Structure formats: structure tokens, C-alpha cells
Amino acid sequence: MSGFSSDPRGMYFEEFFIGQRIISAGRTVSESDIITFAGLSGDFNQIHTDAVYAAQTPFGQRVAHGLLGLSIASGLVVQTGMMEGTILAFREINEWKFIQPIHIGDTIHVEVEVLETKEIRRLGGGAIVISLDVKNQTSETVMKGIWKALISGRPS
């Protein structure tokens, strides 16, 4: 026997409740993250990749791509384990706001709150609506918004 288990460790739809809060671990954003994301996305905007140019902007230094911050936030939510093996589909991002820049060396984490749950019997689970508040090391919100996901129900 291999010891491998395909049992999901994520939460089933029935385990989510309105007002529930989950806080992710933190992750420090590096220069390498920004350069790798620029290569992956093709977005080599100078505000992200040129230290001399960025120093002359209101930010005073290079900033992470907004979509890099969103991608890291997504990964941090996944790493909580709350949806591991139970998510059926990521459905929507709504009301996403990029509020503060993320700089090289900033450490971000995500504070998740369940806003809505709606059973969808034909899918064998339901939809959850969660708010995400992405904060830096000084507890300032750098971005926030609402996500909707479809989650498996508990097997019968």
C-alpha cells in the first residue's frame, strides 16, 4: 500500500458558514517574483522592472504587478487548505480594488470571510462568496475584493 490518499483535505460546502474567517500564512514578495511574473505575463512595464525609472515615480521604487499580487493572494488562499480537493470551479472575481502598492520585500497575507453560501443540489454542493482582504506586514490593505467559488458537498 502506497500510503497515498486522494481524500480531500478541504472543507465541504456544508462546512462553510456566513461570518467564518480564515487567515492565510504570509509570503514575502521578492524581486525574483516580479521579474519572473514579467516574463510569464509579458508585462515589462518600467514601474515593475526599471529601478531608476521607478525611483522617479510617486511610488519611489519598483512595485509588484497588481495581477502578481492577486495571483499570490490566490495561492495563499489555496495554501490554507480550505478548498483543497473540494473546489469544483473558481467562478468570479468582483469588486477587486488595488489600494496600495506591493513593494519588493513586503510580506502579504490574506484574510478571508465567508459572505454567502447557496446550495446547488444539481452540482452536489454549492456556491460560496468570500471576501478577501490582502494585507501587508503593517496590516494595511493592499488589495481586496469578492470571489465566488463552487464547492463539493459532503459525499453521502
| 123-145 pLDDT, tens digit each | 999 999 999 999 999 999 999 99
- Helix pair angle (31-41, 66-79), 10° resolution: 110
Percentage of the chain modeled with pLDDT above 70: 95
Give residue 52's pLDDT band: very low, low, confident or very high (50, 70, 90).
very high
Q: Structural domain boundaries of the chain?
A: 13-152
Contact 125, 88 (CB under 8 A): yes
pLDDT in the model for residue 120: 96
Range from 4-13, 61-70, 104-113 carrying the lowest mean pLDDT: 4-13
Residues 6+ apart with CB under 8 A from 35: 49
CATH class of 13-152: alpha beta
**pLDDT (0 to 100) of residue 9:** 82
Q: What does the pLDDT read at residue 1?
A: 44
What is the band of 6 on the pLDDT scale with cuts at 50, 70, 90? low
Q: How far is CA 86 from CA 23, 54, 116, in A?
A: 19, 42, 17
The residue-averaged pLDDT of 66-75 equals 97
Q: Given this model, what pLDDT does residue 3 score?
A: 54
d(CA 145, CA 131): 6
